[in-house]
């Protein structure tokens, strides 16, 4: 039987987590939910456990990228077939999980990104972020030939081959997005997008504040550049 | 270089060299980090003693004073040692990340097993 794992990386989200988990259960009751507790100081892990989710707690806060990679490692060692990653703060709509999974479970694709820009535009991020996203979209299109509208979306679904590949040390743990897509594309994985609904984080907290956007752009450009310079490990049976 | 300058430079080189050896002996400094300290202090010591070599090097790099060459060498050494640290730090960060993840996954496994045991009782 095909097993699906829904990975929710969470840092101090004890308030929003119940809503997200309830939404996921309503959409896809057969899937198992894994909450990766990224060094939360509030009761995130306890709340998750009480709601019947699987919980893996990182010993200290290591960031979004490390948390989701921990989810991939869990999926690999517990032999899941498909993986969906969704944010813990309610930005992603769990009702779109099945939309995201469809191209992967049907075998049409290896990796699906949930794009907020296809279909109904439910939430527009601030201007600076939009400019950054457009820039990397264009760059990605140039480098991979693939048209990606939402490269920073953390709402993704993929198959076991992809998450196995991503457990390696070449997974960009800082801000995995455009450079990750480039890496997957070069390794021969088939990537597609599906429209999803996203909502602004209701308490206005952002992962990106202060000097972080500057570092983000620098890091992305450097990461994309070196990804092009490296020899990418190939997926078995993949074509370049 | 005046005699005073030479003597001072030689003393500094000897002190750095011996201190480094002592730190390694006491296991306070790993051998891999002592390489640059030892080779730089040795090199500067030799250059001061073989003064004509220092003069040739000075002309070669386009400097005027031999003391400039020594200063530049010290700066270059600091640069190299910082690069060595950056590389080592990157490696350690990566290892630490993997270790943290392993820790989390093992702990979850353990909790699962403990739960199963208590259920079986």
ipTM score for this prediction = 0.86
Tokens (6 digits) for A213 = 């956007």
Which residues contact residue A196 at a Cβ distance below 8 angstroms, ignoring those fewer than 6 apart? Answer: A92, A93, A96, A99, A100, A114, A115, A116, A153, A155
Hey, is the C-beta of A73 within 8 angstroms of any chain B C-beta? yes
Tell me the H-state helices in chain B: 3-25, 31-49, 51-61, 66-120
Which of B100, B105, B108 has its CB closest to that of A62? B100
Which chain B residues have a beta carbon less than 8 Å from that of A170? none
| Interface subset of A 106-165, CB within 8 angstroms of B | none
Q: d(Cα A64, Cα A11) in Å, to the nearest integer?
A: 9
Residue A136 has pLDDT above 70, yes or no: yes
Model confidence over A49-61: pLDDT tens digits? 999 999 999 999 9
Tokens (6 digits) for A147 = 């048209």
Return the bridge partners of A56, or none.
Answer: A36
A-B contacts at Cβ under 8 angstroms: 35
Model confidence over A202-238: pLDDT tens digits? 554 455 556 777 888 888 888 888 888 988 877 766 5
Rounded to the nearest 5 degrees, what angle is found at the Cα of B64, between the Cα atoms of B61 and B68?
Answer: 75
Rg of chain B taking only CA atoms, in angstroms? 25
Model confidence over A147-156: pLDDT tens digits? 888 888 899 9
Q: Is there a contact between A57 and B97 if contact means CB atoms under 8 Å apart?
A: no
Pick among B92, B94, B99, B101 to test the A interface (most A CBs inside 10 A):
B101
Which of A54, A55, A70 has its CB closest to that of B101? A70
Q: How many of the other CB atoms lie within 10 Å of CB of A211?
A: 8
Model confidence over B31-53: pLDDT tens digits? 999 999 999 999 999 999 999 99
Rounded to the nearest 5 degrees, what angle is found at the Cα of A23, between the Cα atoms of A22 and A27?
Answer: 115
pTM of the model: 0.86
Q: Are B17 and B45 in contact (CB under 8 A)?
A: yes
Measured in angstroms, the CA of B110 and the nearest CA of chain A are apart by 11
Q: Are B17 and B36 in contact (CB under 8 A)?
A: no
Pick among B91, B94, B95, B97 to test the A interface (most A CBs inside 10 A):
B97
The answer to whether the Cα torsion of A6, A10, A16, A17 is positive or negative is positive
Rg of chain A taking only CA atoms, in angstroms? 17
Q: d(Cα B10, Cα B2) in Å, to the nearest integer?
A: 12
Q: Are A101 and A24 in contact (CB under 8 A)?
A: no
């Amino acid at each position: 039987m095909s097993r699906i794992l829904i990975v929710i990386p969470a840092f101090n989200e004890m308030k929003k987590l119940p809503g997200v988990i309830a939404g996921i259960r309503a959409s896809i009751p057969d899937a198992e939910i894994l909450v990766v507790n990224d060094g939360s100081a509030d009761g995130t892990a306890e709340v998750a456990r009480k709601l019947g989710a699987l919980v893996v707690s990182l010993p200290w806060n290591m960031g979004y990228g490390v948390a989701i990679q921990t989810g991939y490692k869990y999926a690999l060692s517990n032999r899941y077939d498909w993986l969906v990653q969704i944010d813990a703060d309610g930005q992603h709509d769990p009702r779109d999980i099945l939309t995201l999974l469809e191209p992967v479970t049907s075998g049409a694709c290896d990796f699906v990104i949930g794009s907020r820009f296809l279909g109904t535009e439910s939430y527009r991020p601030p201007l600076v972020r939009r400019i950054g996203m457009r820039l990397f979209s264009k760059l990605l299109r140039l480098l991979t030939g693939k048209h990606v509208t939402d490269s920073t979306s953390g709402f993704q679904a993929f198959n076991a081959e992809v998450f196995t590949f991503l457990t390696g040390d070449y997974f960009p743990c800082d801000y995995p997005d455009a450079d990750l897509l480039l890496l997957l594309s070069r390794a021969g994985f088939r990537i597609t997008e599906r429209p999803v609904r996203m909502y602004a984080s209701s308490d206005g907290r952002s992962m990106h504040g202060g000097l972080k956007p500057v570092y983000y752009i620098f890091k992305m450009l450097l990461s994309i550049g070196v990804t092009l310079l490296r020899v990418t490990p190939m997926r078995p049976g993949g074509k370049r | 270089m005046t005699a005073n300058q030479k003597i001072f430079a030689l003393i500094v080189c000897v002190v750095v060299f011996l201190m480094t050896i002592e730190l390694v002996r006491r296991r306070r400094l790993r051998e891999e980090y002592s390489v640059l300290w030892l080779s730089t202090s040795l090199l500067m010591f030799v250059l001061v003693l073989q003064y004509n070599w220092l003069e040739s090097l000075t002309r070669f790099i386009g400097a005027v004073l031999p003391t400039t060459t020594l200063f530049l060498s010290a700066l270059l050494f600091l640069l190299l040692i910082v690069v060595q640290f950056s590389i080592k730090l990157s490696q350690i960060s990566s290892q630490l990340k993997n270790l943290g993840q392993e820790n989390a996954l093992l702990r979850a496994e353990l909790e699962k097993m403990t739960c199963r045991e208590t259920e079986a009782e």
